[in-house]
């Protein structure tokens, strides 16, 4: 019962070989030509069913979505758009698919519609392609760090700390396990805690990552993170995946260099290993662009953009320079920004997008943000102007996305860190485990977090973050 994957067949084109394939029917034309897909590639294998080979009863069961097992011989194809086809000798229906009820028809469906049937959308070309690329990126990420001797550290999902202080968190509660989670008055009887302790789902693995870096020198995390931000945007999820490397003996400059090299490496990996998937998305995006008015079309195609990003250094500017560019911009002078611009603001996405899309037209690393808008662990810069205290932070902004990476050099000086935590009302007593890194053999160190879905968006050109994670968790989106 040997099965050959369609991708392998299309790559090796073994003319005259006897093979068995299994997959799902995309289309069936003229009672003769089946386009079969098994998810190994967005390309279908054309199956030619000799006329008269199958009875009416079988033919009518070969419908879009049905699963088949087909044995036959590979032949050179005379048809257009394919190099080989399979001349069927035996066709077996594995699973029927009622064409009347099946929501996926052999036509183009809108992304919005497919989001409603997220349980079936992997079976479309677009989503098949997006999730093969997501997989390739994840693999490339592990390969990148492994090649450089970083240890993959698994940090907890349930935690008692708030690494970012950036917003609301999901609280962990306990439901009784006896199957009657009800109080006498009928209300749900859940305990507001994790066995007597107040905990939440992690917003970031960084603080635990720092513990690892203080022993292994270099670690990275790659796991789910949770933020209860009630924001309905095309870039925010309540549950998203983050990659967080943390490096001892490393400053802000090293941090930026690593982040840039990292992003370029994983894009290159996909360009090399998923060329067919990228070509499909490139085409898809080009068609989408054609629908837009000329002045809103992007200047580069998807592959062209990725090529540009891997071959050009990212721009590097300070926060202070970024604010000045915004103040000097025609957009500011024509009052095109909705939010105010002045030193000290937390830049809004309209500002970030102006910098990358209009001004520099490439990824930009912004450094040295005001301390007041950044997390407690970031290293205070020495010698700042009074009232303009900055920290050694860096954000990477990407065209079409905005912030894709957030990182910093960490405050390794115990006294300064304690002072900062006190100013920010962070309970020092509960953070002794973290502070011990500064008490026992502290070293300069730095790290960053890459939002995985934003990276997948960047590489695939998908505009909505809900379309690059298999099961999106957003405020109105948790059906299964």
Which residues here bind ligand 4AD, judged by CB under 6 A?
163-164, 166, 204, 206, 227, 229, 236-237, 240, 242, 244, 403-408, 447-449, 451, 453-454
Identify whether the C-beta of residue 5 lies closer than 8 Å to the C-beta of residue 40.
yes
Binding positions for Mg ion, 393-412, rule CB under 5 A: 406
Contact between residue 452 and residue 242 where contact means Cβ atoms under 8 Å apart: yes
Question: Smallest gap, in angstroms, from Cβ of residue 102 to ligand 4AD?
Answer: 32
* Nearest distance from C-beta of residue 301 to ligand 4AD, angstroms: 24
Task: Give the DSSP letter of residue 197.
Answer: B
447 contacts Mg ion (rule: CB under 5 A): no
104 phi and psi, to 5 degrees?
-95, 110
The encoded tokens of residue 419 equal: 């002072």
Question: Three-state SS for 42?
Answer: coil
- Half-sphere exposure (CA, 13 Å, Cβ side) for 184? 0
Q: Give which of ligand 4AD, Mg ion, none residue 404 binds (C-beta under 5 to 8 Å, depending on kind).
A: ligand 4AD
Binders of Mg ion in range 218-237 (CB under 5 A): none
- From the list ligand 4AD, Mg ion, none, which binds 412 (C-beta under 5 to 8 Å, kind-based)? none
Q: Which is nearer to ligand 4AD, 222 or 448 (CB)?
A: 448
Q: In the bound complex, what is the minimum distance in angstroms from residue 164's beta carbon to Mg ion? A: 8
Q: 206 contacts which partner out of ligand 4AD, Mg ion, none, CB within 5 to 8 A by kind?
A: ligand 4AD
- Which two three-digit tokens encode residue 53? 């080979």
Contact call for residue 449 and Mg ion (CB under 5 A) = no
**Minimal CB distance residue for Mg ion:** 406
Identify what 303 binds: ligand 4AD, Mg ion, none; CB under 5 to 8 Å per kind. Answer: none
Near Mg ion in 136-155, by CB under 5 A: none
Cβ nearer to ligand 4AD, comparing 131 with 220 = 220
Q: Which of 291, 298, 287 is nearest to 458 (CA)?
A: 298
Give me the numbers of helices (H) and strands (E) for the chain, helices first please.
Answer: 14, 15
Q: How far is the CB of 442 from Mg ion (least distance, A)?
A: 24
Q: Among Mg ion, ligand 4AD, none, what does residue 114 contact (CB within 5–8 Å per kind)?
A: none
**Which tokens sit at 141?**
């990420």
Nearer to ligand 4AD by C-beta: 88 or 266? Answer: 266
164 binds, among ligand 4AD, Mg ion, none (CB under 5 to 8 A by kind): ligand 4AD
**What does the per-residue mask of binding to Mg ion show for 157-196, with x meaning CB under 5 A?**
----------------------------------------
The site partner of 421 among Mg ion, ligand 4AD, none (C-beta below 5 to 8 Å per kind) is none
Q: Are 41 and 77 in contact (CB under 8 A)?
A: no
> How do beta strands 67-76 and 84-95 pair?
antiparallel
- Three-state DSSP at 392 gives coil
Query: Is the CB of residue 175 less than 8 Å from the CB of residue 209?
Result: no
* Angle between helix 414-423 and 432-439 (nearest 10): 150
In the complex, minimum distance from the CB of residue 447 to ligand 4AD, in angstroms, rounded to a whole number: 5
CA distance 326 to 212: 39
User: Which of residues 136 and 401 has its CB atom nearest to ligand 4AD in the complex?
Assistant: 401
Indicate the burial class of 468 (C-beta count within 10 angstroms; 0-12, 13-18, 19 or more). buried
Which one, of 225, 289, 282, lies nearest residue 459 by Cα? 282
Cβ atoms of 242 and 403 closer than 8 Å: no
The partner in contact with residue 132, picked from ligand 4AD, Mg ion, none with C-beta cut-offs of 5 to 8 angstroms by kind, is none
65 binds Mg ion (CB under 5 A): no
Task: Decide whether 6 or 462 has the Cβ nearer to ligand 4AD.
Answer: 462
d(CA 451, CA 233): 15
Binding partner selected for residue 127 from Mg ion, ligand 4AD, none, CB under the kind-specific 5 to 8 Å limit: none
**Nearest approach, Cβ of 252 to ligand 4AD (angstroms)?**
12
Q: Kindly report the CA angle at 154 between 432 and 244, in degrees rounded to 5?
A: 80
Interacting residues toward Mg ion by CB under 5 A = 406
């Amino acid at each position: 019962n040997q099965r050959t994957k369609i991708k392998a067949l299309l790559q090796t084109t073994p003319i005259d070989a006897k093979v068995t394939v299994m997959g799902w029917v995309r289309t069936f034309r003229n009672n003769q030509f089946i386009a079969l897909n098994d998810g190994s590639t967005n390309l279908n294998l054309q199956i030619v069913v000799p006329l008269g080979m199958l009875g009416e009863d079988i033919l009518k069961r070969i419908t879009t979505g049905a699963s088949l097992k087909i044995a036959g011989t590979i032949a050179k194809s005379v048809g257009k758009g394919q190099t080989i086809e399979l001349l069927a000798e035996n066709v077996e229906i594995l699973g029927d698919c009622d064409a009347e009820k099946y929501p996926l028809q052999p036509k183009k469906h809108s992304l919005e519609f497919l989001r409603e049937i997220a349980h079936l959308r992997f079976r479309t070309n677009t989503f098949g392609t997006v999730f093969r690329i997501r997989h390739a990126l994840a693999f490339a990420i592990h390969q990148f760090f492994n090649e450089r001797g970083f240890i993959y550290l698994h940090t907890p999902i349930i935690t008692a700390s708030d690494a970012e202080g950036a917003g609301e968190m999901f609280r962990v509660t306990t439901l009784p396990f006896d199957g009657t989670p009800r109080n006498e008055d009928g209300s749900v009887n859940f305990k507001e805690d994790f066995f007597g302790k107040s905990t939440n789902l992690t917003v970031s693995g960084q603080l635990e990552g720092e513990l690892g870096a203080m022993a292994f020198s270099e670690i990275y995390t790659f796991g789910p993170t949770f933020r209860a931000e009630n924001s309905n945007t095309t870039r925010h999820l309540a549950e998203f995946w983050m990659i967080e490397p943390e490096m001892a003996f490393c400053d802000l400059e090293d941090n930026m260099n690593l982040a840039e090299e990292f992003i370029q490496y994983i894009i290159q990996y996909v360009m090399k290993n998923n060329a067919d998937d990228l070509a499909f998305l490139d085409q898809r995006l080009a068609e989408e662009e054609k629908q837009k008015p000329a002045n809103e079309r992007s200047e580069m195609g998807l592959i062209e953009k990725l090529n540009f990003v891997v071959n050009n250094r990212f721009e590097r500017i300070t926060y202070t320079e970024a604010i000045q560019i915004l103040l000097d911009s025609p957009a500011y002078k024509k009052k095109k920004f909705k939010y105010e611009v002045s030193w000290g603001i937390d830049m809004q996405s309209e500002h970030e997008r102006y910098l990358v899309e209009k001004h520099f037209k490439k990824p930009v690393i912004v450094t040295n943000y005001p301390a007041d808008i950044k997390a407690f662990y970031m290293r205070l810069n020495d010698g700042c102007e009074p009232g303009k205290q900055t920290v050694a932070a860096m954000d990477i902004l990407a065209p079409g996305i905005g912030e894709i990476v957030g990182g910093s050099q960490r405050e390794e000086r115990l006294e300064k860190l304690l002072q900062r935590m006190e100013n920010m009302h962070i309970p020092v007593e509960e953070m002794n485990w973290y502070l011990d890194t500064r008490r026992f053999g502290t070293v300069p160190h730095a790290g960053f977090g890459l939002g995985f879905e934003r990276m997948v968006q960047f590489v695939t050109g998908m505009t909505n973050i809900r379309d690059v994670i298999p099961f999106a968790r957003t405020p109105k989106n948790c059906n299964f």
